[in-house]
Amino acid sequence: MATAAAAREFKNFILGEWVAPQSGQFHENRNPANTDEVIGMFPLSSAADVGAAVTAAREAYRKWRLVPAPKRAEILFRAAELLVKRKEDFSRDMTREMGKVLAETRGDVQEAIDMTYYMAGEGRRLFGQTTPSELPNKFAMSVRQPIGVCGLITPWNFPMAIPSWKMMPALVCGNTVVLKPAEDTPLSSYHLVETLAEAGLPAGVVNLVSGEGPGSGSPLAKHAEVPVVSFTGSTYTGRIIAEICAPDFKHCSLEMGGKNIILVMEDANVDLAIDGAIWGGFGTAGQRCTAASRIGVHKSIYHEFARRFVERARSLKVGNGLDPSIEMGPVINEQQLNTVMSYVEIGKSEGAKLLTGGHRLQGAAHAKGWFHEPTVFGDCHAQMRIAQEEIFGPVVSIIPIDSLEEGIEVANDVPYGLSASIYTRNVNRAFSALQDFSTGLVYVNAPTIGAETHLPFGGTKQTGNGHREAAVSAIDFFTEWKSVYIDYSDRLQRAQIDND
């Protein structure tokens, strides 16, 4: 096993070079399934490192914005081809540093591949509009223009997919980037940045500074020469980012928490609903903003569903995600494990019925990791804290409901609005739900997770601030519109003046 003394020492990536942090300080990145293993020593960057990265990005922007978008896209396409070749290696490294099972880390890397290919295609489609002018001999159109240096602050649960959601549209639009990955999972971002550099991205166009939020994330958001900030993480931190960005009117995109629900109606395919609820609740050990931590079940099938769901949850095999037989890995760190355990106690104190789980796993196979049992509470009511607050762990609350109307009311009565799902064979109910769910994502006969790169991703209320990631929505955020008027009449013509 690697030790801190023997572990590889990583550096920041600034102006095309790997450079040590100016403080000379590093932190350990440990495997959450086996804390004896140190993945590497990563920089604890400071405002000085951030400043150097921003300077590099600002200087690179002068030339990068003028590179034709199709040429920028060709570099992204080459990067996607390299990611395909390295998918398995990157997936295994991600499982080691983040903990989720190989099937999920392969999906994470694949999403980065998909997003990179998608945005490469957009290099020939950064469409504006042409429109008739109200005056003769005058041409009117709009074009997109890049904005400048983009500060990207990304979370640990999707350590390659989410950076790709932000980086690829920013780059193809002609912006430059400073990426601050989560301190728990920096290696996957290092792989992504290294791949872009190898694909031919000019020095300074992408820069990476590793470290903790206060030391490097906050200085990046505050930096006067960073006009664009994109953040994914907790609602608490997102509010701080918004306050930092507000005085300078920075472009600010926030993707934050969720408290998502699956509604299971009495006419549902129960087998399918249980499959979806298990995957939605316990995939990534519940550490997804789209995780289905609530299930609203019609009372007529409540007991059957709860019994069978609990049986499935109990049977999940928990352990090191590098083992192909494992179905759920650890939570990310000790702090998150303590948070999960504290919510189990909250659920008990609120009167919810603990149907299974509720404990840290500590047997021989789990002694060196941050493992928690898949946990299910039954007979919950909608206002319990475990049914209102984001836990970000393998804890699911089952809520009995009388009707579709009550289910939608329960679904919407939380601070968040990211994702919701309904299982029903009734097309009228399905369309009613997709109309009335106050969420950015809706699934019918599928769990609350599974977004695709070519549709907008994001939510309402405290989930976000109105922007969307992925698809052309991301391009909207990383560009500004410029309206262009060309008058070839050879005389003064006055728009917005009464010319009659």
**pLDDT one-digit tens code per residue, 78-96:** 999 999 999 999 999 999 9
Mean pLDDT of all residues in 23-29: 95
Residue 264 pLDDT > 90, yes or no? yes
* Alpha-carbon gap, residue 121 to 129, rounded angstroms: 19
At residue 1, the pLDDT reads 46
pLDDT at 4 (0 to 100): 52
- Among residues 154, 147, 145, the alpha carbon closest in space to that of 98 is found at 154
> How distant is the alpha carbon of residue 386 from its chain centre?
22
* Mean pLDDT across the chain: 96
Instruction: Tell me phi and psi for residue 230, to 5 degrees.
Output: -125, 125
CA neighbor of 237 nearest in space, from 181, 163, 153: 153
Q: Distances from the Cα of 312 to the Cαs of 98, 174, 307, 419, in angstroms?
A: 24, 48, 9, 23
424-471 pLDDT, tens digit each:
999 999 999 999 999 999 999 999 999 999 999 999 999 999 999 999
Distance linking the first and last C-alpha atoms of the chain: 84
> Quick one: pLDDT band at residue 500, thresholds 50, 70, 90?
low
Average pLDDT of 50-68? 98
pLDDT, tens digit (0-9, with 9 covering 90-100), for 372-390: 999 999 999 999 999 999 9
| pLDDT for res 497 | 75
Residue spans per domain, the chain: 12-256+464-483, 261-444
How much of the chain, in percent, has pLDDT values that exceed 70? 98
Distance CA 122, CA 173 (A): 9
pLDDT for the residue numbered 41: 97
pLDDT at 413 over 80: yes
Alpha carbons 486 and 497: distance in angstroms, whole number:
18
Q: How confident is residue 6, by pLDDT bands cut at 50, 70 and 90? A: confident
pLDDT digits (tens, 9 = 90+) for 141-194: 999 999 999 999 999 999 999 999 999 999 999 999 999 999 999 999 999 999
Per-residue pLDDT tens for 339-373? 999 999 999 999 999 999 999 999 888 999 999 99
Q: How far is the C-alpha of 137 from the C-alpha of 493, rounded, in Å?
A: 10
Strand order in the sheet with 480-487: 129-132, 138-145, 480-487
pLDDT tens per residue, range 292-317: 999 999 999 999 999 999 999 999 99
What percent of the chain is modeled with pLDDT above 90?
97
| Superfamily name and number for 261-444 | Aldehyde Dehydrogenase; Chain A, domain 2 (3.40.309.10)
Catalytic: which of 104, 255, 327, 469?
A: 255
- What are the C-alpha distances in Å from 345 to residues 134, 190, 340, 395? 67, 38, 9, 12
CA dist 433 and 255 (Å) reads 23
Catalytic residue among 289, 373, 390, 469: 289
Global pTM reads 0.95
pLDDT of residue 496: 77
Is 255 an annotated catalytic residue? yes
Residue 208 near residue 182 (C-beta atoms within 8 A): no
Q: Are 259 and 390 in contact (CB under 8 A)?
A: yes
Tokens for 184?
Answer: 């728990």
Do 12-256+464-483 and 261-444 fold alike per CATH?
Answer: no
Q: Does domain 12-256+464-483 have CATH number 3.40.190.10?
A: no
